[in-house]
């Protein structure tokens, strides 16, 4: 009974499906779709859900009782309709009902057929278009099999689905095949389909049909057809369409826009101009035409079109900037540049041109355009007068983005144009370098600053260089900066200031001891020195710093006054220790300073002034001392402070100040000479001459040296007549005479250089010119006049300019080695050994002999190698000869022969340390590291070798070799010393290199 009730219920339900009542319940009506297009209305709006989706996993009714196949299909259709009502279009369900209807010749009800057809469009959006079209054709086939006439709703629904699926429909054929009269919506759907598929033939056909019917011609369809014709450059068809549009009284504005764009694409400028004159285009279309001219290689005509736009440019700032961006992204950079230049030619647009330039340059930088192009365009904007700020703006963007190469290229261009580059321009790059590669990149930037002719100031050193490099050994830090051509005259005081800010007083005294010839500007150090003492109470090192250089003693009184203030708590024990140390070092202060100290101590509520303290202060007094205002006296000012002071003096109305100008200019000139700032020296010199001040011999001598350092030989020689006392006696020391001779050699005047050394007599015969003599011989040996090197050496020795050392003789040996003349090198070596008892470049000679022996390029190899070995043994020792032989074998990577040598011979640690500390090339570094690989702890002091090698790698900034050294130590089980671990860790971390895991394990232990 239950099964029979189910069947009865199903049949009644299917009867309702076939009725309008059920269709209304499902949201389907038999009325035609609304005018204006295909509208799917199978569900009431209140039942629609925003996420209609395909559910392909549903399995349909399995509980239907055994009955006729028609009942089964009815049930399937009922379930499908329920799903549609719920907003679900189930692919499998649709396929199943279509298949069942097809196989069983099921008479598909009209409204159900329309519903199934509608489900084959966008409602199956996740299904491939081809499959949707296939399902639609199956439903259409079922509809035609019904035997009933296909209704207009069916035809229009099919067209709507075809439009959704972008299926091209031949309008003539479709209209001919229709069994009912089409309505306006049919034509509209045919137009939409043709538009969507951009089929010009179909568009033309349907427009031709509608022309003879009382059907509205839609402007959109006509414009699409025009666009299609213009794409194919079919101008005649476009003109024909415009004529038809006029006859149909349709707007032609868009049509003329498309025609204008077509002419632009073809480069037909006369016709384009005619349209713009007769049918004026709005600004957006003019910008579109300009872009088309650009991308179609007709950019030469852009200026013509810009004339139509020029009056509207101020109101189109955003749109033009956007167009510039689009052109650059389309690789039409030159056209964007042309547009900006054209706009800039109009004086009324000067104020808005910079914004276009910013858009242009920003986009180039963002797209990583070639740096040369970016610099070229920025410079062009400057030279054309469009924007004097272009280079600065690009530099600013590059700095913000951390584009090091771009910034350096811009700085180079600015330098060529004599635009001042300031140290703070580099600050963002230095910070980025620290975060990226660390110390090595910091020094690379320092080198770039020097090469750009930039003077690195104290702020840059203290805040952006020293904090980002390894300063554990301050002397090494100064050496690294010196290797990058930054003189200690610039770096020394800022380094002391930085160390004081770090309260590292213990590192300062050794630094001062090793740099006694440097000048310290104590004014810069007073504040950090006072703070360092307050924190550390390290009175010994504080006083040591103040007494390390003569001027420091003048600041003792100021130092004490800065410490002893009424508002500061003062401890008698600390003060007594400080005063006693000053007395021990025989430091003196003025009576005025002593009185101030005593008065402050008396008024300090936290301090009980004892007679002992009073006596200690009195013992420091020197009655003859004049109280100098050291913080304002020009004697203690650096170049920057002197410059400001000079401006102040010049602006003063006090006539007494005018007498100070000469003294200030002299101090400035000396300071700039010490810093090797030739440009500033020339500026001061011009001002000095303008004031007609007399030049002293000492100032001329300093200028003479500066000119020689900077290869200004003519300027230096111009000063010689004024420095000569007699024809052969000159008011310069021996160092400067040798420097002069070196400059003459560089200027291809070796004969004159020899004559200068031979005939000039210096005023100071005690000056040590050894280093400059080595430099002179090196320059001569490397020049085309190398044959004069031996004569120059003999002359220098004869005139007592220098003493014979191995370093002095190296240039003689370098001459034949550079020419690969090993036989001549052996001869020179033998002469040096016999005459001077020295063996210059002996390692290089022995290495070349061994290399040629192993390559079978050397005759009498064994005897010649033995001769060199005997020279070493005679001059030094057999152990030294064995050590040099071992280094040579290690350099050539002859490991087995090295092992054989080490079985019978001991190495000289002194010799190894010498070569480790005086490494000539990367090849010799590798050789010394190979020695470490092969030897054991009994043969050499492995820890000493490791520490010296690490120090060398640190100076070179070579992290890879340092890591290789660590691997060797781990392999050979060399236990690192505490100092090695500290230096190695700091070196790696300063270069942003992760510590090896083995080192971490050691630290954990």
Q: In sequence order, which residues have a C-beta less than 8 Å from that of residue 280 and are 6 or more positions away? A: 308
Query: Computed from CA positions of residues 60, 61, 67, 72, in that sequence, does the dihedral angle turn out positive or negative?
Result: negative
Q: Give the CA radius of gyration of the chain.
A: 47
Q: Where are the domains of the chain?
A: 304-421
Mean pLDDT of the chain: 83
Across the range 913-930, mean pLDDT stands at: 86
Return the pLDDT at 19: 42
Return the pLDDT at 214: 58
pLDDT band at 842 (very low <50, low <70, confident <90, very high): very high
pLDDT tens-digit readout, 711-729: 999 999 998 888 877 666 6
Across the range 351-358, mean pLDDT stands at: 88
Scored b (16 or more CB within 10 A) or e, 610-639 reads eeebeebbeebbeeebeeeebeeeeebbbb
Give 3-state DSSP helix, strand, coil % of the chain, rounded to 5.
70, 0, 30
pLDDT band at 468 (very low <50, low <70, confident <90, very high): very high
Selection from 166-170, 347-351, 657-661 with the highest mean pLDDT: 166-170
Average the pLDDT over each of 10-24, 25-39, 422-436 and give the range with the smallest value: 25-39
Q: What is the reported pTM? A: 0.72
pLDDT tens-digit readout, 494-531: 999 999 999 999 999 888 887 767 788 999 999 999 99
Across the range 150-172, mean pLDDT stands at: 87
Across the range 761-781, mean pLDDT stands at: 85
As beta bridge partners, residue 726 has 729
Residue 246 backbone class (left: φ over 0; alpha: ψ -120 to 50; beta: rest) = alpha
Average the pLDDT over each of 367-371, 728-732, 789-793, 907-911 and give the range with the smallest value: 728-732
Q: How much of the chain, in percent, has pLDDT values that exceed 70?
A: 89
The span from the CA of 241 to the CA of 247, in Å, is: 10
Max Cα–Cα distance, the chain, nearest Å: 145
pLDDT band at 608 (very low <50, low <70, confident <90, very high): confident
Please check the confidence at residue 22 and state whether its pLDDT lies above 50. no
Return the pLDDT at 776: 95
Return the pLDDT at 258: 82
Please check the confidence at residue 83 and state whether its pLDDT lies above 80. no
Across the range 804-833, mean pLDDT stands at: 93
Return the pLDDT at 40: 34
Q: How much of the chain, in percent, has pLDDT values that exceed 90?
A: 34
Q: In sequence order, which residues have a C-beta less than 8 Å from that of residue 131 and are 6 or more positions away? A: none
pLDDT tens-digit readout, 936-974: 867 788 999 999 999 989 888 888 999 999 999 999 898
Please check the confidence at residue 699 and state whether its pLDDT lies above 70. yes
Please check the confidence at residue 611 and state whether its pLDDT lies above 60. yes
Q: In sequence order, which residues have a C-beta less than 8 Å from that of residue 408 and are 6 or more positions away? A: 448, 452
Return the pLDDT at 65: 44
Average the pLDDT over each of 17-31, 673-687, 870-884 and give the range with the smallest value: 17-31
As beta bridge partners, residue 621 has 589
pLDDT tens-digit readout, 589-601: 989 989 988 888 8
pLDDT band at 2 (very low <50, low <70, confident <90, very high): very low
Query: Computed from CA positions of residues 475, 481, 486, 490, in that sequence, does the dihedral angle turn out positive or negative?
Result: negative
The distance from CA 456 to its chain's CA centroid, rounded to whole angstroms, is 20
Across the range 669-678, mean pLDDT stands at: 89
Please check the confidence at residue 34 and state whether its pLDDT lies above 50. no
Do the Cβ atoms of 90 and 109 come closer than 8 Å? no
Return the pLDDT at 220: 66
Return the pLDDT at 785: 93
pLDDT band at 844 (very low <50, low <70, confident <90, very high): very high
pLDDT tens-digit readout, 412-449: 999 888 888 899 999 999 999 998 888 989 999 999 99
Average the pLDDT over each of 53-67, 237-251, 282-296 and give the range with the smallest value: 53-67
Return the pLDDT at 215: 58
What are the angstrom distances between the C-alpha of 365 and each of 335, 339, 889, 896? 17, 19, 52, 56
Please check the confidence at residue 46 and state whether its pLDDT lies above 70. no
Please check the confidence at residue 42 and state whether its pLDDT lies above 60. no
Across the range 859-879, mean pLDDT stands at: 91
Q: For the purposes of burial, counting CB atoms within 10 Å of the CB of 497, is it exposed (0-12), middle (13-18) or buried (19 or more)?
A: buried
Pairing of strands 53-54, 724-726: unpaired
Return the pLDDT at 821: 92
Q: Tell me the CA end-to-end span of the chain in Å, nearest whole number.
A: 89
Tokens of 671: 């300071």
Selection from 209-218, 583-592, 741-750, 919-928 with the highest mean pLDDT: 741-750
Across the range 215-226, mean pLDDT stands at: 66
Return the pLDDT at 259: 84
Residue with the larger pLDDT of the pair 373 and 88? 373
At 525, phi and psi to the nearest 5?
-95, -15
**Own/partner long-range contacts of 238-247 (Cβ < 8 Å, ≥24 apart):** 238/262, 244/207, 244/211, 244/217, 245/217, 245/219
Tokens of 944: 């000493």
Do the Cβ atoms of 186 and 152 come closer than 8 Å? yes
Please check the confidence at residue 538 and state whether its pLDDT lies above 80. yes
Pairing of strands 729-730, 724-726: antiparallel
Selection from 15-24, 115-124, 625-634 with the highest mean pLDDT: 115-124
pLDDT tens-digit readout, 267-320: 888 988 998 888 888 888 888 889 988 888 888 888 888 888 777 777 888 888
pLDDT tens-digit readout, 89-138: 777 878 887 888 878 878 778 888 888 888 888 888 788 888 888 888 88
| DSSP alpha helix (H) spans, 783-908 | 789-798, 806-818, 822-836, 842-854, 861-875, 878-891, 895-904
The distance from CA 179 to its chain's CA centroid, rounded to whole angstroms, is 73
The span from the CA of 350 to the CA of 388, in Å, is: 12
Please check the confidence at residue 834 and state whether its pLDDT lies above 90. yes
State the angle between helix axes of 317-329 and 333-344 in degrees (0 to 180), rounded to the nearest 10.
150
Average the pLDDT over each of 248-252, 326-330, 752-756 and give the range with the smallest value: 248-252
């Amino acid at each position: 009974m239950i099964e029979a009730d189910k069947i009865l219920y199903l049949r009644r339900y299917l009867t309702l499906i076939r009725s309008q009542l059920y269709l209304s319940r499902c949201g389907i009506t038999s009325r035609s779709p609304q005018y204006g297009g295909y509208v799917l209305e199978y569900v009431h709006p209140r039942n629609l859900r925003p996420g209609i989706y395909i559910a392909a996993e549903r399995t349909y009714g399995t509980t239907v009782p055994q009955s006729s196949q028609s009942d089964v299909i009815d049930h399937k259709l009922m379930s499908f309709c329920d799903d549609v009502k719920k907003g679900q279009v189930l692919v499998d369900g649709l396929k199943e009902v279509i298949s069942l209807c097809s196989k069983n010749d099921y008479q598909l009800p009209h409204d159900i057929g329309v519903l199934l057809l509608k489900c084959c469009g966008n409602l199956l959006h996740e299904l491939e278009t081809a499959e949707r079209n296939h399902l639609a054709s199956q439903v259409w086939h079922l509809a035609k099999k019904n035997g009933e006439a296909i209704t207009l709703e069916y035809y229009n629904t099919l067209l709507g689905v075809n439009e959704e699926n972008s299926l091209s429909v031949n309008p003539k054929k479709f209209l001919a095949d229709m069994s009912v009269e089409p309505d306006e919506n049919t034509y509209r759907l045919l137009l939409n389909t043709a538009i969507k598929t951009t089929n010009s033939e179909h568009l033309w056909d349907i427009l031709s049909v509608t022309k003879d019917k009382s059907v509205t011609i839609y402007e959109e369809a006509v414009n699409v057809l025009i666009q299609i014709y213009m794409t194919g450059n079919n101008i005649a068809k476009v003109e024909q369409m415009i004529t038809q549009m006029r006859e149909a009284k349709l707007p032609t504005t868009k049509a003329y826009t498309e025609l204008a764009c077509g002419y632009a694409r073809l480069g037909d400028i006369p016709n384009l101009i005619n349209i713009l004159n007769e049918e004026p285009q709005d600004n957006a279309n003019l910008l579109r035409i300009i872009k088309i001219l650009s991308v179609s290689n007709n950019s030469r005509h852009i200026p013509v079109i810009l004339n139509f736009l020029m009056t509207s440019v101020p109101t189109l700032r955003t749109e033009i900037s956007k167009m510039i961006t689009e052109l650059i992204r389309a690789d039409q950079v030159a056209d964007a540049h042309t547009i900006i230049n054209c706009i800039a030619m109009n004086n009324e647009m000067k104020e808005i041109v910079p914004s276009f330039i910013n858009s242009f340059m920003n986009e180039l930088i963002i797209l990583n355009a070639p740096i040369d192009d970016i610099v070229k365009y920025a410079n062009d904007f400057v030279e054309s007068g469009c924007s004097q700020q272009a280079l600065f703006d690009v530099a600013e963007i590059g700095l913000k983005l951390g584009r090091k190469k771009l910034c350096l290229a811009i700085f180079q261009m600015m330098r060529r144009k004599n635009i001042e580059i300031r140290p703070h321009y580099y600050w963002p790059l230095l910070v980025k370098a620290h975060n990226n590669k660390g110390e090595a990149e910091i020094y690379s930037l320092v080198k770039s600053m020097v090469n750009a002719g930039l003077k690195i100031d104290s702020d840059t050193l203290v805040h952006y260089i020293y904090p980002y490099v390894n300063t554990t050994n301050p002397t090494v830090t100064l050496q690294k900066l010196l290797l990058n051509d930054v003189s200690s005259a610039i770096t020394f005081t800022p380094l002391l200031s930085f160390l004081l800010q770090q309260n590292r007083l213990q590192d300062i005294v050794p630094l001062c001891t090793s740099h006694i010839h440097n000048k310290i500007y104590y004014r810069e150090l007073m504040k950090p020195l006072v703070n360092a003492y307050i924190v550390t109470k390290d009175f010994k090192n504080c006083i040591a710093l103040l007494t390390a250089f003569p001027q420091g003693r003048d600041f003792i009184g100021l130092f004490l006054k800065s410490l002893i203030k009424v508002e500061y708590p003062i401890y008698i024990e600390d003060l007594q220790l400080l005063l006693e140390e000053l007395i021990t070092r025989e430091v003196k202060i003025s009576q005025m300073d002593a009185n101030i100290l005593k008065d402050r101590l008396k008024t300090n509520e936290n301090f009980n002034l004892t007679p002992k303290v009073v006596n200690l202060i009195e013992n420091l007094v020197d009655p003859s001392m004049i109280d100098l205002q050291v913080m304002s006296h020009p004697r203690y000012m650096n170049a920057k402070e002197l410059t400001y002071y000079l401006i102040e003096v010049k602006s003063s109305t006090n006539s007494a100040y005018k007498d100070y100008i000469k003294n200030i200019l002299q101090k400035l000139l000396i300071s700039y000479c010490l810093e090797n700032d030739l440009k500033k020296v020339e500026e001061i010199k011009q001002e000095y001459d303008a004031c007609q001040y007399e030049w002293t011999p000492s100032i001329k001598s300093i200028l003479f040296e500066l000119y020689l350092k900077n290869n200004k030989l003519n300027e230096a020689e111009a000063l010689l007549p004024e420095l000569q006392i007699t024809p052969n006696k000159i008011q310069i020391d021996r160092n400067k005479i040798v420097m002069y001779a070196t400059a003459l050699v560089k200027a291809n005047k070796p004969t004159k250089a020899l004559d200068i050394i031979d005939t000039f007599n210096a005023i100071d015969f005690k000056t040590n010119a050894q280093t400059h003599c080595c430099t002179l011989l090196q320059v001569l040996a490397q020049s085309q006049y190398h044959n004069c090197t031996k004569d120059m050496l003999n002359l220098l020795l004869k005139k007592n300019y220098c003493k014979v050392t191995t370093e002095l003789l190296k240039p003689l040996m370098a001459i034949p080695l550079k020419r690969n003349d090993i036989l001549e090198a052996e001869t020179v070596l033998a002469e040096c050994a016999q005459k001077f008892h020295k063996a210059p470049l002996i390692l290089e000679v022995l290495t070349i002999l061994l290399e040629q022996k192993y390559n079978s390029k050397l005759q009498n190899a064994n005897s010649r190698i033995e001769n060199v070995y005997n020279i070493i043994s005679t001059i030094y020792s057999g152990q030294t000869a064995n050590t040099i032989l071992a280094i040579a074998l290690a350099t050539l990577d002859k490991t087995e022969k090295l092992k054989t040598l080490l079985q019978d011979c001991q190495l000289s640690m002194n010799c190894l340390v010498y070569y480790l500390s005086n490494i000539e090339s990367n090849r010799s570094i590798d050789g010394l590291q190979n020695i470490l690989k092969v030897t054991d702890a009994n043969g050499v002091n492995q820890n000493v070798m490791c520490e010296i090698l690490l120090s060398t790698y640190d100076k070179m900034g070579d992290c890879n070799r340092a890591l290789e050294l660590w691997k060797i130590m781990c392999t050979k089980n060399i236990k690192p010393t505490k100092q090695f671990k500290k230096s190695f860790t700091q070196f790696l971390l300063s270069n942003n290199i992760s510590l090896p895991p083995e080192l971490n394990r050691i630290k954990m232990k």
